[in-house]
Amino acid sequence: MIKENLNIGLFGFGCVGEGLYQVLNESKLLNASIKKIVVKNKEKERNIGAENFSYNKYDILNDPDINLVVELIDDADAAFEIVKKAMEKGKHVVTANKKMVANHLEELIEIKKANGVSFLYEGAVCGSIPIIRNLEEYYNNDCLTSINAISNGTCNYILTRLDLEKASFAEILKDAQLSGFAESDPTLDIDGFDSKFKLSILIAHAFGVVVAPDEIINLGIRHIKEKDLTYAKEKGYKIKLISQARKIDNTIEAYVIPQFIAKDSYAFDINFEFNGVLIEAAFSDKQVFKGKGAGAFPTGSAVLSDISSLQFLYDYEYKKRHQDGLQLATDFLIKIFVSSANEKSLNDITLSTVEESYTSKNYAYKVGLINKSQLTYEFYSTHPELFIAVAAD
């Protein structure tokens, strides 16, 4: 039974906002319509009439007829203010802003509870893949043991092309920017920040622990060298940027680091802009989701699904929150591969055991265990000569 008619106030009419507008128009089943759209730039040409738009956020926030705010802007700080105010005014909120959700999740959950509204964000993680609602509803117990994801389409697109072509990282990145797969400032994507925002949201729904993104280590793909790709090919591996969280006793070991992926892994066949998620649970064993991780329609369809579930007053219940004693692990060992064109620079990183090492005139690497606490983004960003990846098992 449908419970609510939804009068939508939409913030943002860019890639996802316009995508949502179109998918909403195509959907006949929904009892929802967009009453007003707030955007920023008065000079921009739009594909629909000017009467739909406003530049004043209070035209939505102060409108008592609007009962749902859909927030699809590209400014996480402004988005947080909008979302907070909307919920305080008793409006449900749907967003796709992973940075905003990951950085403020604890506070947002409290605000939503205090105001008795729903707050949904399926589009924030892995585009069209329905992962959050699955973690909330299907895996609503404590049997889940691990979650492993390719959650950044830009990195996966670049890594796939590097695997297939002779072109350099810089050339492929430029091409990806021109064809809209990468932002003009690619830092959030290629240095793994975007993936860790998503991982922190996944951890909240998979394990019930709200983890600040700053607590998760992210080493991106920027330092990859041609010889690393050759090494991977010779061994029959691909390199993928993987977000991983694994429950070990009462801790969660989490990181975003490139990994060497063998042929029998689900991740081997997740290519180009596609995303994939592998869930492992005690009794259901392994399950894989694959789909388009970004773009107007894939993300628009995830937002549409949130809107549609709101007609039935759906909300996340965070059922696994406050499981006894479960917390993020600060200290654990990871088996890594570290390479450099200059053998001496490998001494800048201390492995606790070395299982394999190789040196030639212009390339050297080591494989061994390292304590996660030694791997920091600050260290990595000041050592561009090193490429670090999780070694294959």
Ligand X SMILES: NC(=O)c1ccc[n+]([C@@H]2O[C@H](COP(=O)([O-])OP(=O)(O)OC[C@H]3O[C@@H](n4cnc5c(N)ncnc54)[C@H](OP(=O)(O)O)[C@@H]3O)[C@@H](O)[C@H]2O)c1
Residues interacting with ligand X, by CB under 6 A? Answer: 11-17, 38-41, 44, 72-75, 78, 96-98, 123-124, 127, 294-295, 299
Residue closest to ligand X, measured at CB: 14
| Sequence-distant (≥ 6) Cβ neighbours of residue 253 within 8 angstroms | 244, 245, 246, 329, 332, 372
How near is the Cβ of 136 to ligand X at its closest, in Å? Answer: 19
Question: At which residue do the structure tokens 């993928």 appear?
Answer: 240
> Which of 213/295 has CB closer to ligand X?
295
> Which of 78/333 has CB closer to ligand X?
78
Question: At which residue do the structure tokens 């004693």 appear?
Answer: 325
> Which of 78/288 has CB closer to ligand X?
78
> Which of 243/265 has CB closer to ligand X?
243
Bridging pattern class, strands 285-292 and 274-281:
antiparallel
Edge-to-edge strand list for the sheet holding 6-11: 53-54, 32-38, 6-11, 68-71, 92-95, 119-120
Do 247 and 263 meet the contact criterion of CB atoms below 8 Å apart?
no
| Sequence-distant (≥ 6) Cβ neighbours of residue 164 within 8 angstroms | none
Residue 79, helix vs strand vs coil: helix
How near is the Cβ of 26 to ligand X at its closest, in Å? Answer: 18
| Sequence-distant (≥ 6) Cβ neighbours of residue 340 within 8 angstroms | 346, 363, 364, 365, 385, 386, 387
How near is the Cβ of 124 to ligand X at its closest, in Å? Answer: 6
| Tokens matching residue 130 | 């329905």
Residue 243, helix vs strand vs coil: strand
Question: At which residue do the structure tokens 């890639």 appear?
Answer: 15
> Which of 245/302 has CB closer to ligand X?
302
Residue 329, helix vs strand vs coil: coil
Any idea which residues carry the catalytic annotation?
A: 198
How near is the Cβ of 59 to ligand X at its closest, in Å? Answer: 11
How near is the Cβ of 378 to ligand X at its closest, in Å? Answer: 25
